[in-house]
């Protein structure tokens, strides 16, 4: 089940993101930034042994009047290849439609995944400068090898 993230999810989201951040597969987020941007996040929750468990997270961050970013997409490793990430991205695209946004981009080390969902490569220089506010915080800046992709809705 995909739902909006809640306050009691923040530490679970943080743990999932930190796991992949420690492998340099995505940009980590501080607890403070997760609380600050909680409304951007969706979680994929699944019941295991009667207990709900978050197995995937994704955020849709509005950047400008016609542009959003899909960020912090992560799925626990044992659930890879089961459609969880795809479902989360599609839910974010539906949110975009509801908000009236026209375009979405992502910065990723997994461009093939996003190409399968209708994204196309774009030069990072074509993205607004506002996008770089997170990049400046990254330890890999300015030598980042993430790829930029964009999709119109």
32-88 pLDDT tens trace: 999 999 999 999 999 888 889 999 999 999 988 899 999 999 999 999 999 999 999
Selecting from 3.30.1370.100, 3.40.50.720, 3.40.630.30, 3.40.190.10, what CATH number does the domain 2-152 have?
3.40.630.30
What pLDDT does 139 receive?
Answer: 58
- DSSP code string of the chain: -EEE--GGGHHHHHHHHHHHHTTTSS----HHHHHHTGGGEEEEEEEETTEEEEEEEEEEEEEETTEEEEEEEEE-GGGTTSSHHHHHHHHHHHHHHHHT--EEEEEES-HHHHHTTT-EE--GGGS-GGGHHHHTTSTTTTS--PEEEEEE-
Kindly report, residue by residue over 72-103, the tens digit of the pLDDT. Answer: 999 999 999 999 999 999 999 999 999 999 99
């Amino acid at each position: 089940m995909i739902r909006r993230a809640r306050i009691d999810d923040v530490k679970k989201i943080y743990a999932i993101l930190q796991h992949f951040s420690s492998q340099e597969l995505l940009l980590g987020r501080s607890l403070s930034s997760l609380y600050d941007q909680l409304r951007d996040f969706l979680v994929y929750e699944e019941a295991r042994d009667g207990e709900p468990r978050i197995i995937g997270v994704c955020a849709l961050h509005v950047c400008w009047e016609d542009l959003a970013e899909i960020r912090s997409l992560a799925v626990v490793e044992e659930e890879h290849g089961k459609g969880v990430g795809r479902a989360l991205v599609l839910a974010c695209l539906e949110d975009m439609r509801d908000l009236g946004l026209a375009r979405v981009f992502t910065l990723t080390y997994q461009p093939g995944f996003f190409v399968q969902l209708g994204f196309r490569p774009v030069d990072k220089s074509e993205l607004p400068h506002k996008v770089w506010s997170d990049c400046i915080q990254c330890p890999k800046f300015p030598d980042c090898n993430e790829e930029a992709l964009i999709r119109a809705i």
